[in-house]
Amino acid sequence: MRTLTAFLLPLFLAACSGIPLMSMPKLIALQGNLLDANPAEFMVAIQADSRLTPPPGSSPVLHLDVKPKEEGSFPRIQKMLKMQENDWSPALMGLKPAGKGRKWFIYAFTPESAEELRKVQAQFRAIKAQNKGGSLQLGIAQENVAAKNPELGNTKWESWLQVSRKDGFFELWSGTLGELVAQGQPR
């Protein structure tokens, strides 16, 4: 898709607050990289206060929305791909051990979500081969992982992303738990 250019990370890019400047080139390249990525290597890492206990079964969700430039040129693709918790390991490139009072929460696609992403990637390649344009919007919702404990509201929250193992993780967003929860609220 030549014109697959619209790129949004609604939760993280709200007014570009908390996004490290060094991460911007990787965010810009993310739309193309994701559609060629190995789903088994895509991961989200969250570093938060060690007192945080996410609700059982909670995890980040990747929102994908591929819209045709011209209505009807291909069916719109909308997916919500759930992730599941994995263990932190020193082998995860780009993630240093969490400091005192901090903890890593590592998430990867569930097997069902990984398979669904493979299907979307195949659809994307077919659309691209037909020279049909469109836009891709991405979002990673993680507010359901955050406990809404008032005593943790001012604690630091860092979100990191890995699209491929060889590139490792890069910092996606940094702020407080309270800011994250506020960004996830309806406006």
Is residue 3 over pLDDT 60?
Answer: no
Q: Tell me the backbone φ, ψ of residue 68, rounded to 5 degrees.
A: -70, 145
* Domain carrying residue 21: 14-183
Look at residue 5 and tell me if it is in a domain.
Answer: no
Percent of the chain topping pLDDT 90: 35
Predicted confidence at residue 30, as pLDDT, reads 63
How many domains in the chain?
1
Rounded to the nearest integer, the mean pLDDT of the chain is 80
What would the pLDDT profile of 126-166 be if each residue is shown by its tens digit? 888 888 878 888 888 887 777 677 788 899 999 999 999 99
Look at residue 8 and tell me if it is in a domain.
Answer: no
Q: What is the mean pLDDT of residues 167-182?
A: 86
What would the pLDDT profile of 98-119 be if each residue is shown by its tens digit? 999 999 999 999 999 999 999 9
Look at residue 3 and tell me if it is in a domain.
Answer: no
Looking at the whole model, is its pTM more than 0.85?
no
What would the pLDDT profile of 14-72 be if each residue is shown by its tens digit? 334 555 545 455 555 566 677 789 999 999 999 999 998 888 888 999 998 988 988 88
Look at residue 60 and tell me if it is in a domain.
Answer: yes
Q: What is the mean pLDDT of residues 169-179?
A: 87
Look at residue 9 and tell me if it is in a domain.
Answer: no
Angle at 17 between CA 174 and CA 23, to 5 degrees: 60
Contact in structure between 149 and 68 (CB atoms under 8 Å): no
Binned at pLDDT 50, 70 and 90, residue 94 comes out as: confident
Predicted confidence at residue 14, as pLDDT, reads 38
Look at residue 6 and tell me if it is in a domain.
Answer: no
